[in-house]
Amino acid sequence: MSPRLRVPRRRLGGTPRPVSGPTGHPYACPHMPLRAHLSDIVGDAFASLGLDRRFGEVVPASRPQFGDFQCNGAMAAAREAGRPPREIAADVAGIVARAPEVAGVDVAGPGFINITVADDTLGNLLDGLCADARLGVPTVDRPQVVVVDYGGPNVAKPMHVGHLRSTIIGDSVARIFGFVGHRVIRDPHFGDWGLQMGMLIVELERRRPDLPYFDPDYTGPYPQEPPVTLDDLQEMYPEVAARCADDPEWAAKARRATVELQQGRPGYRALWEHMVKVSQESQRRDFADLGVTFDVWYSESTVHDRVGPMIERLRRGGFVEESDGALIVRVDLPDDTRELPPLILVTSDGGYLYGTTDLATIEMRVEDMGAELVLYVVDARQSDHFEQVFRAARKTGIAPPDVGLEHIAFGTMNGPDGKPFKTREGGVVRLRDLIEMVTAAADKRLTEAEIARDYPPEERERIAQQVGLAALKFGDLINNRVSDYVFDLERFTSFEGKTGPYLQYGAVRIKSILRNAADRGFEPGPIVAPTVDAERTLMLWLTRLPDVVTRALELRAPNGIAEFAYELTSVFNRFYERCHIIGETDPGRRASWLSLVRLTLDEISLLLGLLGIDVPDRM
RNA sequence: GCCCGUGUAGCUCAGGGGAUAGAGCAACUGCCUCCUAAGCAGUAGGUCGCAGGUUCGAAUCCUGCCGCGGGCGCCA
In this complex, the answer to whether residue A493 has its CB under 7 A from any atom of chain B, a nucleic strand, is no
Question: pLDDT at position A13, please?
Answer: 25
Q: Which nucleotide is nearest to A378 (CA to C1')?
A: B76
DSSP A379-400: EGGGHHHHHHHHHHHHHHTSS-
List strand residue ranges (DSSP E) for A380-518, in order. Answer: 404-410, 413-414, 485-486
- Enumerate domains of chain A plus CATH numbers: 1-26+141-410 (3.40.50.620), 32-130 (3.30.1360.70), 431-610 (1.10.730.10)
Q: Which residue is nearest to nucleotide B13 (CA to C1')?
A: A479
pLDDT at A485: 84
How distant, in Å, are the alpha carbons of A36, A103, A261, A529 from that of A98? 18, 9, 76, 20
Residue A452 CB in 7 A reach of strand B: yes
Neighbours of A503 (CB within 10 A): 26
| Buried residues in A433-466 as b, exposed as e (16+ CB within 10 A) | ebbebbbebbbebbeeeeebeebeeeebeebbbb
Q: What is the ipTM of this complex?
A: 0.96
Residue lying closest to nucleotide B7, CA to C1': A483
CA dihedral (A88, A89, A92, A94) in degrees, to 10, reads -110
Cβ–Cβ < 8 Å for A356, A129: no
State residue A10's pLDDT score: 27
A2: left (phi over 0), alpha (psi -120 to 50) or beta: left
What pTM did the predictor assign?
Answer: 0.93
Q: How far is the CA of A530 from the C1' of B32 (A)?
A: 27
What is residue A532's predicted lDDT score, i.e. its pLDDT?
94
For residues A347 and A328, give the distance between their C-alpha atoms in angstroms, rounded to a whole number: 9
Q: What is the mean pLDDT of each run of 10 residues along chain A (619 residues)?
A: 32 26 31 88 96 95 93 93 94 96 95 96 95 94 97 86 92 98 97 93 96 92 94 90 90 95 95 94 93 96 96 96 95 87 95 95 98 96 94 96 95 78 72 93 90 90 96 95 86 93 97 97 97 96 96 95 97 97 96 98 98 97
SS3 A335: coil
